[in-house]
Structure 1
């Protein structure tokens, strides 16, 4: 008589069964369990059954061995179960289940990380390109004098925005702007999760910070020469003219000398905040309008290839209209990332918090304006258009019915 402990998943049964063990072949033969074992999934028909068998040899030595057999609870046969001794290192049923669950979880995490990483890389690269173009064109205009007029700067920035979106839209949502990210998470939360907001914004700021570093590395000697020729000491109020290469200031230092108090009165902090909120409101409103699935004027579905161009044109127009007042940031990441680098590179308080402690204007204004612009389109304009379309359709059906009568 041998005592066998039969295990299957979470179910265990202990029975005394008459087993025949062939020590030379290492095989075990025992009858079917009298109690049918239950399973979690009814579609499973067979599984490996492990039995820990205690037996007494003829010489009186007690031993314990583990045997593995294939067990089928749907089989009503009385044929004995045949098994072989389990080899060292062979995983148990529980171990295999745990390994399976770990592999499934690993695949899920790997997939989630891959998608998230792609989003973050897209936002980082896109914002890097956008900021690189924006800061470089300002440096070219202010420090070297290669550009003349606000429109030359504005159109290059607009093209930079367009190219950045085209380059990264297959990586992520190509927001490239915390104001756009926040607006989508609040207004269009069904298609863009709020859980992505912080990672997106951090990636955007990191990308713009790196771009600021590249611009400084390329224009460092030109900036230093400009400061020397104009007797500008970096970190003083006069150095705002070179600091504007990285961050935005009000009024535009290239048009208004900040060393003269009267020029500062041209744009107050409140006015600057309103301008930044207003321009971001227009930008996000237009983005929501262009990306509306019901707006087929610029294409339908994923075929809206003209949208990046139109967004870039919008940015260029807004800069040309209001750039003389606040330089028109509309993008907290594009302003704050390079501003951090400028603070490290020697501009100090001129970069953060700014000569008028107004760096926050370029963060709060666009974030607030972006949400308002997106909300105004989706909540008011889009719903009004939907109601008008439904009323027009109903009117056409009624007219058709009357003509038939």
Structure 2
């Protein structure tokens, strides 16, 4: 069971391997929400995520014989690194099954910690099935990423640190994938102060916990689809489910588009890289009535490869009208391209790409197409640029921006 005594023991154990992640006050999110928002930056944790807490505590509770048999787990990346690091501390073999879609950086960092990586399946659940087969075939000891009460206890030490640092905390917002983090944090939070409100956040494309709570029992989604790969779980853990049912006050679902905006906000306002799953807590603030409250948002991880970062940034800029593309049909005569460029420049727009197609019509004298991708300051500036083009006789239409 998740008891105060177990949490106390776990807190002492995890301090052997964790870094101190003090709360960061966020002026930006505080202004946005009307609350006093504090960030719990587990993205700055050793191995880049909170998962090392549960992995280390779980492995510390195993017998020598269980560790000597070798360890196995399945993970989309963060738990993999936590187990790999913890196994390294205990001198144990670790085999990690990871979905083939796992970001490259998570795979390489897991291998760098000495673990054997097996890439299998498209989602976590398929990797977990492979891990179970290996456990049976080779006699390896399973270290489940979330459906294990010892793992959940280790993750829950986050709540102890939050309350110790900010005793007047009113709300804790925590991401939910399989449920280990939310079960551990919510249960300890209620033990420390029953008045603390705990909000769990899932990606809308993988809301297995909400579906399970509505059904009154654990259910498995037919499929999941989300950019929040760390929480792309089809079925929550049955061992942790009762604790979430009893201690999580509310479940919020966040769309992928909101995570894209949250990534930009985090980078621009806090200069921190937080992976999509880790951003669930701050993205959920727009859905919560927390005005006047002291709120802690758990940033669960920061392991994100640069290709994904690049894609998220570009989509975010387009989403916020800071990059857009216009299409204009122009007569094919000298000076038209210059007119477009000068008009955009005078409106303080910055041209970042230009495509000139002379063959859009069989009559080039009648029209050629010019597609211009422009950098702007936001929606109002975007409209001002379009109005400036139309004012000089260039009928411009906004079209889909190609990345």
| Global fold match (TM > 0.5) | no
| TM-score, L = length of structure 2 | 0.23
Task: Give 1 or 2 for the bigger CA radius of gyration.
Answer: 1
Which structure dedicates a bigger proportion of its chain to helix? 1
